[in-house]
């Protein structure tokens, strides 16, 4: 299981600086069993969405 604290550590290592509430929102988006933390497959889903959003934003800026 991955908690908001652990997620924050991962996000900061990727150059992000999310607030505690942003981390909780990110977990809530993919927390299929609503237990307040995410398992690894849920984490991968969340990161795939986040990376897709980031790529789109960069593509828009380049255009």
Ramachandran category for residue 52: left, alpha or beta (phi over 0 → left; psi -120 to 50 → alpha): alpha
pLDDT (0 to 100) of residue 38? 92
17 versus 56: the higher-pLDDT residue is 17
Give the CATH number, domain containing residue 34: 1.10.238.10
Contacts of 22 (CB under 8 A, 6+ apart): none
Structural domains counted in the chain? 1
pLDDT, tens digit, 9 for 90 and up, residues 5-48: 999 998 899 888 999 999 999 899 888 888 888 999 988 888 88
Q: Which residues pair with 38 in a beta bridge?
A: 2
Range of the domain at 29: 4-62
Identify whether the C-beta of residue 8 lies closer than 8 Å to the C-beta of residue 24: no
Does the pTM exceed 0.85? no
Query: What DSSP character marks residue 12?
Result: H
């Amino acid at each position: 299981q991955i908690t908001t604290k652990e997620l924050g550590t991962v996000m900061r290592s990727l150059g992000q600086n999310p607030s505690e509430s942003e981390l909780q929102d990110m977990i809530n988006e993919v927390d299929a069993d609503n237990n307040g933390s995410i398992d690894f497959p849920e984490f991968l889903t969340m990161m795939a969405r986040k990376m897709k959003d980031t790529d789109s934003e960069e593509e828009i800026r380049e255009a």
